Amino acid sequence: MLLKKIKIGKFKTPNNLFLAPLAGFSDFAMRQICIKFGAGLTFTEMVSCKGLLYDNENTKDLLFTTSDEKIKCAQIFGNDPQIMRSAVESDALSAFDIIDVNFGCPMPKIFNNGEGSALLNNPSLAEKIIYECSKSGKPITCKMRIGLTDGKFITKDFVKAVVNGGAQMVTVHGRTRDKIYAGEVNYQEIENAKSVSSVPIIANGGIFTKQDAEKIMASTGADGIMIARGALERPWLFAELLGKDVKISKKELIKEHIDRLLTKYDDKTVSVIFRKQLCLYLKGEKNSSELKQRLFTYKDTKSIKLAIEEFFS
Ligand SMILES: Cc1cc2nc3c(=O)[nH]c(=O)nc-3n(C[C@H](O)[C@H](O)[C@H](O)COP(=O)(O)O)c2cc1C
């Protein structure tokens, strides 16, 4: 693993192993845990620029951040350069050092609105968005896919456009929109991105193990990696990649995660919002399907902790 710091504007990350923005998952508690295991940078889930400007409480909640994040990154989505710049300059994002723009979301609700991956076919608008948001004075980065459909790759032209607009780092998810999150990751396209970029290129897609991380770095020449689902299932992957000796107790990690959520939310809320993350922690554990079903009936964290204690004893 080629470990190095990444410079983004005036900021320098401690390493090049990043946690991806993950809607419904990369909240403050998950980010804290990944930072504890060594993640060099973390991102909030994507937030709507329009939602921010209309003072949407739910959107603001997604931006809750703590001092554990030494460099704070928020990810935004939208398609109007002026509105997006206003959002970047709004109070809601004032705590954030770096703003990442989403050019990859494949979901129909976002795509049909001309946002997320819809921008991949409009590099000049993407360039304008980056250019306008950069006027805020904050470093602007972005996350893209390699095209909408397989074979029709837009990578090189898109990277050139966003770098021209002022992007200070580009993360390339090596899949097209039609693949959603499945299928092979195209290393060649990530390498192509690197070949035309004067700013750091971060490789994303299909990194679940140390071998995956080493392979994508070696095959693409990328400056760093961004891990998504692999980190949700095994956040200690960051420690493994850093060569740290990790002895992990899932039971303790689950309890710690609950306690972190309880610093912000009430007990009943935590018992509900933690369920899907808990199922990811239990992935691969033998005989856990009955427990997973039972977890959905608990309405307090004490019951969840007891069940987990019992399961792992
Ligand atoms: C549940 C889920 C939510 C996601 N939310 C976001 C998001 O908010 N912003 C974003 O740029 N990508 C999002 N992604 C995409 C991931 O950041 C990442 O690009 C993708 O999962 C590929 O990486 P992986 O193979 O390591 O999982 C999401 C993916 C998943 C599975």
CATH number at residue 166: 3.20.20.70
Separation between Cα atoms, residue 17 and residue 130, nearest integer Å:
24
In a domain? residue 20 = yes
Q: What is the pLDDT of residue 59?
A: 85
Task: Tell how strand 7-8 and strand 11-12 pair up.
Answer: antiparallel
Please tell me whether residues 276 and 200 are part of one structural domain. Answer: no
Domain count, the chain: 2
Please tell me whether residues 203 and 66 are part of one structural domain. Answer: yes
Please tell me whether residues 190 and 274 are part of one structural domain. Answer: no
| Residue identifier of the C-alpha nearest atom 13 of ligand 1 | 22
Nearest one of 158, 228, 231, 232 to 190, comparing CA atoms: 158
Please tell me whether residues 61 and 189 are part of one structural domain. Answer: yes
In a domain? residue 98 = yes
Q: What is the pLDDT of residue 55?
A: 76
Separation between Cα atoms, residue 49 and residue 81, nearest integer Å:
10
105, 133, 142, 279: the active-site residue: 105
Residue list, ligand 1 pocket, CB within 6 Å: 20-25, 45-46, 75, 102, 104-105, 143, 173, 181, 204-207, 227-230
Last residue of a domain, one of 208, 241, 274: 241
Last residue of a domain, one of 241, 265, 283: 241
Please tell me whether residues 230 and 254 are part of one structural domain. Answer: no
Please tell me whether residues 209 and 232 are part of one structural domain. Answer: yes
* C-alpha dihedral sign at 134, 113, 176, 239: positive
Last residue of a domain, one of 206, 241, 276: 241
Q: What is the pLDDT of residue 58?
A: 84
Please tell me whether residues 202 and 303 are part of one structural domain. Answer: no
Separation between Cα atoms, residue 248 and residue 255, nearest integer Å:
13
Q: From residue 279, how far is each of 17, 168, 216 by CA, in Å?
A: 24, 36, 27
In a domain? residue 2 = no
In a domain? residue 12 = yes
Give the three-class secondary structure for 263.
coil
Please tell me whether residues 127 and 264 are part of one structural domain. Answer: no
Q: What is the pLDDT of residue 1?
A: 72
In a domain? residue 1 = no
In a domain? residue 113 = yes
Q: What is the pLDDT of residue 57?
A: 82
Average pLDDT for consecutive 10-residue bins of the chain (313 residues)? Answer: 94 98 98 98 97 84 96 98 97 97 98 98 98 98 97 97 98 98 96 98 98 98 98 98 94 98 97 96 94 93 96 93
Please tell me whether residues 59 and 77 are part of one structural domain. Answer: yes
Please tell me whether residues 58 and 125 are part of one structural domain. Answer: yes
Separation between Cα atoms, residue 187 and residue 210, nearest integer Å:
16
**105 labelled catalytic:** yes
Ligand 1 mean position to 44 CA, how many Å? 11
Residue-range definition of the domain harbouring residue 274: 250-311
Q: What is the pLDDT of residue 282?
A: 96
Please tell me whether residues 106 and 127 are part of one structural domain. Answer: yes
Question: Which amino acid would we find at residue 140?
Answer: I
Separation between Cα atoms, residue 274 and residue 281, nearest integer Å:
11
In a domain? residue 177 = yes
In a domain? residue 123 = yes
| Residue identifier of the C-alpha nearest atom 18 of ligand 1 | 228
Nearest one of 107, 119, 208 to 158, comparing CA atoms: 119
Please tell me whether residues 154 and 275 are part of one structural domain. Answer: no
